[in-house]
A and B are shown apart, each in its own frame.
Chain A
Amino acid sequence: MRILRNLGKSANIFLQKIGRVTKFIISIFLSLFTPPTYGGEIFKAIFQIGWMSLPVLGLTALFTGGALALQIHAGGSRFNAEQVVPAIVAIGMARELGPVLGGLIVAARVASSIAAEIGTMKVTEQVDALITLSTDPIKFLAVPRVLAATLSLPVLIAIGDSIGILGGYLVGINRLDFSSSTYLASSASMLQISDISSGLVKGIFFGFIISLSGCYCGFHSSNGAEGVGKATKSAVVAACVFILAANYILTEVFFNS
């Protein structure tokens, strides 16, 4: 009986959470299409989310591309297929590693900062102050961040893909004895537009997931510093889990089409 009661209670809490998240998403979409639009806030958010994520994303992609080239070479050499290294690095970075690693890195950096910033504003009554100054907090705080992340992620992923392929290229010509022209020609000949576009589409979804997790957890944080800490942790965990889940679903969709 007690187990059933606890199960029912947990299901109720879970459904309430789903309802709150759905309501939050709807309010963001409704706010997107009604004035006022805070252009300055959107550009500020693009700078913070997009531009400021470039160094960490670039370094991650560079090292990942290099490591991927070594791993593929090690595996390929077992059946004399070392020549596939450039093609697999390019396809692997564009279709999977670029979007997923980029998404996870940006999630760690951006979802946490959005949740901490909005959470702190919530517990110090700055969000209430916005309302008393006739400013909708969803429009002013959430919409610019969601727009900025959704627009920035595909661009970041495109840059990350290129840097990752460059990492593989540097390792290929310096460590694996590929000639520069052979490596580039092999990469370019095997890489298709659909490989790149599927990664960029993933980026749009990942950007939305990251910013939504940050904003939702920030707006629902409570209990002072501890609450903000919990909100920050929840935002990163939720963003990472949903990115990996969305990645599988989107890969299935692209695979079938």
Chain B
Amino acid sequence: MIKIKNVHKSFSDQNVLDGVDMLVREGSSTAIIGTSGAGKSVLLKILLGLIKPDIGEVSIGNIQVSYDKPSGTLSEIGMLFQGSALFDSLPVWQNICFKFLKGREKLSSKDAKDLAIQNLKKVGLSHEVANKYPSDLSGGMRKRVALARAILGNPKIIFFDEPTTGLDPIMTNTINNLIREIVETMEVTALTITHDISSVEQIADNVALLESGRIRWEGKSEKLRGCKDPYVYQFINGETKGPIKVI
């Protein structure tokens, strides 16, 4: 379970998060939607312990996220970054098994490579990709390698930051199906940051709309389309007029 309690964050004069309260239940798949600049990525970095909130606290399971040293909750979390964030200098298999090559739990190179190939198969990539470098891969392949890295070590929670941004419709569908499959088979708690409504409907059970630093609406993803809430209505329909200010 992820508990976000009264989280505030501002940068210089700009108030990014203005009292976010949210609860993500264990085993659920939740999406946070919102316009660009609404504070979604900042909230995600606060959950990871990468940015310290000005006020408020976050706990994952029973552990409070710490910000002064690497958070103890990280071992239970897998993370898919928006731009994949693969290490350019390492081949794909070392990217996937980085945790087991450089971390405390060490694996031999052979075992690590075998594990990486197993995970590549889970995301629909062949073993031939293992020896390639990230620069040799397409955007969709990079996303899938990053997904293979995120699920390594069977994390209890996976965060997805804009998983389908910049991908073609077919690859978007492939990634969405993979995420849905991973969430169901691995029984993880998933939190996705996105502004792609079709992705939300495919991968999330619950949705929260973050706007101007606050959660404006929360509900089931199937209720999103017919929702009369002015924030949701404007966001779903792409209206320029409404409570969401277009900057």
Q: Which residues of A contact B98 (CB under 8 A)?
A: 133, 135
Give chain A residues whose Cβ lies under 8 Å from the Cβ of B86.
Answer: 126, 129
- A131 and B74 within 8 A (CB): yes
Does B70 lie at the interface of the complex (its beta carbon under 8 Å from any beta carbon of A)? yes
Q: How far is the CA of A174 from the CA of B187 in the complex (A)?
A: 79
Question: A134 near B87 (CB under 8 angstroms)?
Answer: no
Of listed A126, A129, A136, residue having the most chain B CB within 10 A: A129
A124 & B79 in contact (Cβ 8 Å cutoff): no
CB within 8 Å for A125 and B102 given contacts A131-B48, A131-B74, A132-B74: no
Assess whether A134 is in contact with B83, with CB atoms less than 8 Å apart: no
One of B49, B87, B102 near A126 (C-beta < 8 A):
B87
Answer whether residue B171 sits at the interface, using C-beta atoms and an 8 A cutoff.
no
Q: Is B81 an interface residue (CB 8 A)?
A: yes
Query: What chain A residues lie within 8 Å of B48 (beta carbons)?
Result: 128, 131-132
Write out the residue numbers on chain B whose beta carbons fall within 8 Å of the beta carbon of A121. Answer: 87
Question: How many angstroms from the CA of A132 to the CA of B78 in the assembled complex?
Answer: 8
Q: Contact string, B56-99, partner A, CB cutoff 8 A, digits 1/0?
A: 00000000000000100011010101110111100000000011
Distance of A116 Cα from B169 Cα, bound (Å): 34
| Interface membership of B45, Cβ < 8 A | yes
Residues of A within 8 A of B24 (CB): none
Tell me the smallest distance from the CB of B133 to a CB of chain A, in Å.
14
Contact of B50 among A120, A124, A131 (CB under 8 A): A131
CB neighbours of B85 from chain A (8 A): 124-126, 128-129
A140 at the interface (CB under 8 A from B): yes
Contact indicator B99/A129 (Cβ below 8 Å): no
- Interface size for A (C-beta < 8 A) is 16
| CB proximity of A91 to chain B, nearest CB, Å | 42
Check B83–A140 contact: CB distance below 8 A: no
Report B131-158 residues with CB < 8 Å from chain A CB. Answer: 149
Residues in A with CB closer than 8 Å to B79 are 129, 132
B87 neighbours in A (Cβ, 8 Å): 121, 126, 129
With A134-B75, A136-B70 as contacts: A128 and B103 at CB distance below 8 Å: no
Residue in B closest to A38 when the chains form the complex, CB atoms = B102
A38 and B98 alpha carbons, distance in the complex (Å): 13
Interchain CA distance A128-B82 in the complex, whole Å: 12
Neighbouring B residues of A128 by C-beta, 8 Å = 45, 48, 50, 81, 85
Interface residues of A in 102-140 (CB under 8 A from B): 120-121, 124-126, 128-129, 131-136, 140
Indicate whether A134 sits within 8 Å of B50 (C-beta atoms), given known contacts A124-B85, A129-B79: no
Q: Report whether B102 and A140 are in contact in the complex, using a CB–CB cutoff of 8 Å.
A: yes
- Whole-angstrom CA separation of A131 from B149 in the bound complex: 14
B50 / chain A contacts, CB cutoff of 8 Å: 128, 131
In the complex, A8 has a CB within 8 A of chain B: no
Interface residues of A in 123-172 (CB under 8 A from B): 124-126, 128-129, 131-136, 140
Residues of B with C-beta under 8 A to A19: none
